[in-house]
Amino acid sequence: MRPVISVSLNGRAYQLEDDAHAALAGYLEAASRALAGNPDQAEILADLEQAIADKLQRCLGPHKTVIARSEIEQVIQEMGPVDSGPGSGAAHDGVPPGAPSPGSGGAGAATGAAQAGAAAPKRLYQISDGALLSGVCKGVAVYLDVDVTLVRALFVVAAVLTGGLAILVYILLMFIVPYANTPEEQAAARGLPFNARVLVEQAKLKAAQLADVAAHAAMNNHSREARAQWKAEWRKARAEWRQDWRRTRAQWRAQRWAGAAAGPIPTVPPPMPPLAHFISGLIWAALGLVVALVTLGWLLALFSLVTTGAVFGWIPHHLPLWAVVIALILIFQAVVWPLRAARHGMIPRVYGYAYPWHSFLDGLVGLFVLLLVLWYLTHHGHDLQQTFDTLQQNAQPAWHQFLLAWQTLVHGWH
């Protein structure tokens, strides 16, 4: 059992545990001292009390009516030490909300930064301030405390390597990850006080924004408002989509749990004549083989590039290695993607909607092709090498001619 003290904050009653009351009284007393001699002392104190009351409101609920000391201390940290005004030297150097210095005046601000990192919980948010698209990369960068450019670069590389899967992930995150709107959320997104590097970067950004001269102020205000409005609407729409998506996901789950037998079948294609069915099955299998062979060739090309610095004997003189790797990946995706798409389009024709069977058979065919190729390599590897050699011998002059033609074409234009 604990004694509880009732207080009125700007005309509203709050119940505090006794040590919570002591902490709050200490803060307000320090504030009152700092504002001594300020003609607006009473008004500022009332405003501070109102802000504290607003913050305490979120700690209370139908089953929680008393404020504990830890909650008061959290609120006091967010409020920060009260600045006694111009020229007083009670420096407060922009410590973000969440940095502690409970009731200890200005001195706590400097030492508080280190503790804040440990105390503040971190969450992943989208941050629209300084965002390129939606703020996912920015949010991740802030969460991991690294440069946003690094995250963006890694994301682009991931997008290429995964054949666009990363873009899908980005879009999903865009709809799932919440925005940091309130100061509390923004503090939680960072979790840590700013370090000097991020600080300088943001200062640069701010400088660029503030550099608009006053002459354009009216015009800028207008366009800024329009942009803000557009952004707000876009965000609202996105929130709705997000809800839709959650609902759909819940339905998916429900259906999956209801039983795999009754899968979500929108339409069943009309039954095919047996011959057509057989032929489409053949085409489907052939497409699979082509994809498998292309994949294999691509892997061999990558392997030969990394080990010998040449793609099947062709040495890329003018390009750095990474550029050739990326080019190979892009070419591979460009070739394979339509084949895969065509193949997936045929699944319902060949198998109906028995998805588990399709993936199982797909795996079997892939395994078979792999074994076949391995067998071929072990028995005819030498022949293959010769084939590559002759291919290279034939291809090289053709390639040189192409380069020559290209150069004359380009120079002809100059």
Instruction: Tell me the C-alpha distance between 297 and 287, whole Å.
Output: 15
The DSSP symbol for 305 reads H
Per CB under 8 A, the segment of 41-49, 295-303, 349-357, 387-395 that binds other proteins is 41-49
- The single residue among 71, 78, 120, 311 that binds other proteins, judged by CB under 8 A, is 78
Q: Is 96 in the site for other proteins (CB under 8 A)?
A: yes
Q: Is 207 in the site for other proteins (CB under 8 A)?
A: yes
Residue type, 121: P
- 3-state helix/strand/coil string of 201-244: HHHHHHHHHHCCCHHHHHHHHHHHHHHHHHHHHHHHHHHHHHHH
Q: Is 151 in the site for other proteins (CB under 8 A)?
A: no
Structure tokens belonging to residue 364:
């079997």
Q: Is 31 in the site for other proteins (CB under 8 A)?
A: yes
Q: Is 40 in the site for other proteins (CB under 8 A)?
A: yes
Q: Is 206 in the site for other proteins (CB under 8 A)?
A: yes
**Helix, strand, coil percent values for the chain (each to nearest 5):** 70, 5, 25
Instruction: Tell me the C-alpha distance between 268 and 281, whole Å.
Output: 17
- The single residue among 183, 263, 297, 338 that binds other proteins, judged by CB under 8 A, is 183
Q: Is 180 in the site for other proteins (CB under 8 A)?
A: yes
Nearest to 312 by CA among 213, 208, 405, 387: 387
Q: Is 72 in the site for other proteins (CB under 8 A)?
A: no
Instruction: Tell me the C-alpha distance between 179 and 364, whole Å.
Output: 45
Nearest to 187 by CA among 116, 135, 246, 243: 116
Cβ at position 81, least distance to other proteins in Å: 5
Q: Is 44 in the site for other proteins (CB under 8 A)?
A: yes
- Distance spanning both ends of the chain, measured CA to CA: 91
Cβ at position 87, least distance to other proteins in Å: 11
- The single residue among 18, 129, 244, 389 that binds other proteins, judged by CB under 8 A, is 129
Cβ at position 164, least distance to other proteins in Å: 31
Q: Is 7 in the site for other proteins (CB under 8 A)?
A: no
Per CB under 8 A, the segment of 9-17, 300-308, 361-369, 377-385 that binds other proteins is 9-17
- What is the side-by-side order of every strand in the sheet holding 12-17? 4-9, 12-17, 66-67
Q: Is 28 in the site for other proteins (CB under 8 A)?
A: no
Q: Is 81 in the site for other proteins (CB under 8 A)?
A: yes
- Our CB check for other proteins shows the closer of 120 and 291 to be 120
Structure tokens belonging to residue 35:
């504002």
Cβ at position 12, least distance to other proteins in Å: 8
Count interface residues toward other proteins (CB under 8 A): 59
Dihedral pair phi/psi, residue 25, rounded to 5°: -60, -40
Residue type, 277: H
- The single residue among 11, 271, 274, 412 that binds other proteins, judged by CB under 8 A, is 11
Of 225-244, which residues contact other proteins (CB under 8 A)?
Answer: 225
Instruction: Tell me the C-alpha distance between 158 and 227, whole Å.
Output: 31
Binding site for other proteins (CB under 8 A): 10-12, 31, 35, 38-40, 43-44, 47-48, 50-51, 54, 57, 78-86, 91-97, 110, 127, 129, 180-183, 186-187, 189, 194, 196, 199-200, 202-203, 206-207, 210-214, 217, 221, 224-225
